[in-house]
């Protein structure tokens, strides 16, 4: 029997229909601006997010780091949550690629307020790095798929505009937030000067992300995409997968959310697991393991045919996706129950 893979929504594979769209894609040299499928994808993403322009790139890390580099100069300060993907999971890229100084706020599941932000803004002084950018993440990965309350986003947007600071959104899973809240991506992106989105997570495309913003901003970012090695040639083949995902897989994210809630409900009833199912808003479930180290539980689950990801000494993460149909959730819970029972005996 095939293992159940709940490590991430990045493990999804293209559907047969997506593969057909990719095989049939019209292509050209994107670095010459001649790939019609890439151009179509970029126009569609910009339209969905309500921005002037968009740029296709290989990965979510790249589009986030392109945003940092395009908004700042070396020595500038970027403010973000201490558990933000940009800071926590992108290999030290802010320092290495943009030369910026990160100032981290102690958010609650990745969320902070305008007052939290204002409290750390420093006056203009030669002793201090100028704060040029604030970054939010929606949904928040290490926050367990937490969705930013839109009122807080608006308050932070008002503050950053008043202070002349740019606002970037790591919206790798913005599609999940839109479906869960029943609002458009355009509404969720409205406060931001730039937005990064990913096609290879819940949407199920094999590769690719996009960065959106003003036409001038995207033009500047294109130079850095080339500098960072992200310029591609006949990229329409993979852009076609992303286009197919946009048009056919966004609404089905609700299924992943329902599966995550069912998983959370089941896990919360198991001895050795601490979890509040009400905290599960999208497709990420983070649970505290109280009886054994989390890495030991993960190893035992793997041997039993269930893959999860550890996020700390006593926490595990499970992510539902296109790759895990609803029927597999009960099977996963059975593996959890048997493994926990084995470890406690």
> pLDDT by residue (tens digit) across 106-125?
999 999 999 999 999 999 99
Last residue of a domain, one of 248, 264, 297: 248
Same domain flag for 20 and 145: yes
Total domain count for the chain?
2
- The CA-atom distances, in angstroms, between 233 and each of 33, 36, 111, 198, 284 are 9, 12, 38, 20, 34
Token reading at 175? 């599609």
Residue 128 lies in a domain: yes
pLDDT the model gives residue 196:
98
Range of the domain at 110: 11-248
Tell me the pLDDT band of 218, cut-offs 50, 70 and 90. very high
Among 248, 280, 304, give the residue marking a domain's end: 248
Q: Are residues 331 and 214 in the same domain?
A: no
Whose CA is closest to 203, among 14, 7, 21? 14
Q: Do residue 128 and residue 51 come from a single domain?
A: yes
Residues 86 and 67 both lie in one domain: yes
Residue 5, in any domain of the structure: no
- pLDDT per residue over 133-167, tens digit each? 999 999 999 999 999 999 999 999 999 999 999 99
Separation CA 316–CA 297 (nearest Å): 9
Are 101 and 180 contained in the same domain?
yes
Query: 172 and 296: one domain?
Result: no
Distance CA 310, CA 316 (A): 4
For residue 180, the model assigns a pLDDT of 98
CB neighbours of 115 closer than 8 A, spacing ≥ 6?
A: none
Q: Would 154 be classed as within a structural domain?
A: yes
Do 191 and 146 reside in the same domain of the chain? yes
Overall average pLDDT of the 165-190 stretch: 98
Residues 6+ apart with CB under 8 A from 323: 5, 9, 11, 12, 13, 204
Residue at a domain's end among 218, 248, 278:
248
Average pLDDT of the segment spanning 168-184? 98
pLDDT in tens, 301-332: 999 999 999 999 999 999 999 999 999 999 99
Structural domain contains residue 4: no
Reply yes or no on whether the pLDDT at 1 is more than 80: no
Orientation of helix 16-23 relative to helix 236-248, angle to 10°: 140
| 243: in domain | yes
């Amino acid at each position: 029997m095939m293992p159940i893979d709940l490590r991430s929504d990045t493990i999804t594979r293209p559907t047969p229909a997506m593969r057909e769209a990719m095989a049939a894609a019209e292509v050209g040299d994107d670095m010459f601006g001649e790939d019609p499928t890439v151009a179509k994808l970029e126009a569609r993403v910009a339209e969905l997010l309500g921005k002037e322009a968009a740029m296709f790139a290989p990965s979510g890390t790249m589009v986030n780091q392109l945003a940092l580099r395009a908004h700042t100069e070396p020595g500038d300060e970027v403010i973000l949550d201490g558990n933000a993907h940009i800071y926590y999971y992108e290999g030290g890229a802010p320092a290495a690629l943009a030369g910026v100084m990160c100032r981290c706020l102690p958010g609650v599941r990745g969320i902070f307020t305008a007052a939290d932000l204002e409290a750390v803004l420093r006056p203009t002084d030669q002793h201090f790095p100028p704060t040029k950018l604030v970054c939010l993440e929606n949904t928040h990965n290490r926050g367990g798929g937490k969705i930013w309350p839109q009122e807080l986003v608006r308050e932070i947007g008002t503050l950053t505009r008043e202070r002349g600071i740019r606002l970037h959104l790591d919206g790798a899973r913005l599609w999940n937030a839109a479906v869960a809240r029943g609002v458009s991506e355009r509404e969720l992106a409205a406060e931001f000067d730039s937005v990064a989105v990913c096609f290879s997570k819940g949407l199920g495309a094999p590769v690719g992300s996009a960065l959106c913003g003003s036409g001038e901003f995207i033009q500047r970012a294109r130079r850095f995409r080339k500098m960072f090695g992200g310029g591609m040639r006949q990229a329409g083949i993979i852009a076609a997968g992303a286009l197919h995902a946009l048009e056919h897989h966004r609404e089905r994210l609700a299924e992943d959310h329902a599966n995550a809630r069912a998983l959370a409900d089941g896990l919360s009833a198991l001895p050795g697991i601490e979890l509040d199912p009400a905290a599960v808003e999208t497709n990420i479930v983070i649970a505290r393991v109280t009886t054994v180290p989390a890495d030991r539980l993960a190893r035992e689950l793997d041997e039993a045919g269930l893959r999860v990801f550890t996020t700390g000494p006593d926490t595990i993460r499970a992510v539902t996706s296109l790759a895990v149909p609803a029927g597999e959730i009960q099977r996963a819970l059975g593996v959890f129950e048997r493994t926990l029972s084995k470890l406690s005996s």
